[in-house]
Chain A
Amino acid sequence: MNWIYEPWPWYVAGPLIALTMFLLLFMGKQFGMSANLRTKCAALGAGKAADFFKFNWKDERWNLMIVIGAIIGGFLASNYLTNTTNNKVAISLETITELQEDYGLKSAGDSYLPKELFDTAQLTDIKVLSLLLIGGFLVGFGARYAGGCTSGHAISGLSNLQLPSLIAVIGFFIGGLLMINLLFPLIF
């Protein structure tokens, strides 16, 4: 059972993600992790500002349970299902060199998230603060505009051979490649 404490290889994780989707399908639901953001807006009273949020959010409470579960899962995995204290990620040597030398992200290869962006102490840096907020904004806006995110389109939609999901996933990659390969050298 020692493998469980090591990072899980792709051929374990991928099939388990498919299993998650099928469990939800059997429960009569669709796998998608971004719709809950709309539910939260509705629960916070956004229905007063836009019709898009005028629906009975209580019908979508199951979605919020998944979110709470995901938070608990992250807690359990990072505290009890790991060998190391810093949860470092086994990215390739090439990636580590790039991040350290080109972008000054010295924590590459030695932590789960770049400390330069996600350490609480960094939040006094207005640039870091803006990057996190803008990144989140684009994820939320883009996911709703495209009608789904990685789970909704790349896994659920493509599994169901939906052409719109293929277009969305191509969009995800155009955006991601632009950000990392063209915008990162300008930002960092």
Chain B
Amino acid sequence: MKKYIAYLSIGIFFGIIMFKSEAASWFRIYEMFRFNSFHMYGIIGSALALGIIGVQWIKIKDVKALGGREMQLNKKQPSIPRYLIGGILFGLGWALAGACPGPMYVLIGSGYPAIILVVFGALVGTFVYGLFRDKLPH
């Protein structure tokens, strides 16, 4: 139970950041793909810079997760078509809906019921991927 409250709190924290930084705004995504503002690049870039430093530190010092477990820093399976094609399809949707999976949920809470259609579409997309997974190049 304690654990679930911890995850819930991390979710709330993340939701507030997404909304307040305007990363959940359709307009900011449009602007990013038009190179009209540094804002989104600053957010992703600074998160990434600190992320790289922190992850390298974890690896060098062999820092463990709570309870002495290994950190979930798994290697991803090598492939090009999977990441490139999947990535392009995701990018098309990200720009059209103006929301990636995190902000979608944030926007439900912010009072935009129409976003539920986007979440529903994403669920269907996930399901259809599961159906055709074996037939797609990976």
Chain A interface mostly helix, strand, loop or mixed? helix
Within B46-85, which residues are at the interface with A (CB < 8 Å)? 46-52, 54-55, 58, 65-67, 69, 71-80, 82-85
Contact partner of A146 (CB less than 8 A), chosen from B15, B87, B110, B114, is B87
Interface size of A in residues (CB-CB distance below 8 Å): 125
Complex formed: what's the CA distance from A7 to B37 in Å?
15
In the assembled complex, the CB of B23 is this many whole angstroms from the nearest CB of chain A, namely: 7
What are 16 A-B contacts defined by CB distance under 8 Å? A15-B50, A20-B13, A20-B14, A25-B72, A30-B72, A69-B12, A73-B15, A112-B22, A118-B115, A120-B113, A138-B92, A143-B90, A171-B86, A172-B88, A172-B91, A175-B92
In angstroms, Cα B100 to Cα A135, docked, is 10
Residues of B within 8 A of A175 (CB): 87-95
Residue of B nearest to A118 (CB): B114
Interface secondary structure of B, over-half rule: helix
Residues of B near A119 (CB, < 8 A) are 114
Encode contact with B along A82-107: 1 for CB under 8 Å, 0 otherwise: 00000101111011001100000000
Give CA–CA (A7, B46) in the complex, Å.
Answer: 17
B33 touches A132 (CB 8 A): no
Distance, CA A146 to CA B9, complexed state (A): 28
Bound-complex Cα distance A120 to B100 (A) = 20
- On whether A74 and B19 interact (CB within 8 A), knowing A38-B130, A136-B121, A176-B94, the answer reads yes
By the criterion CB–CB under 8 Å, are B105 and A171 in contact? no
Given A10-B21, A178-B91, the answer on whether A155 and B44 have CB atoms closer than 8 Å is yes
B: which residues have CB within 8 A of A?
A: 3-4, 6-34, 36-52, 54-55, 58, 65-67, 69, 71-80, 82-102, 104-115, 117-131, 133, 136
Q: Are B114 and A50 in contact (CB under 8 A)?
A: no
Question: How far is A179 from B65 in the complex, measured between Cα atoms in Å?
Answer: 40
Please tell me if the beta carbons of B125 and A144 are within 8 angstroms of each other in the complex: yes
Closest to B21 in A: A13
Considering the chains assembled together, what is the distance between the CA atoms of A179 and B83 in angstroms?
18
Partner pick for B83 among A21, A171, A181, CB 8 A cutoff: A171
Check B122 against A136 for contact (C-beta < 8 Å).
Answer: yes
Q: A33-B100, A167-B83 are in contact. Are A65 and B4 (CB under 8 A)?
A: yes
List the 5 closest pairs (A to B, CB-CB), nearest first. A69-B11, A171-B87, A73-B15, A175-B91, A136-B121
Whether B52 pairs with A23 at a CB distance below 8 angstroms is no
| A56 beta carbon closer than 8 Å to chain B | no
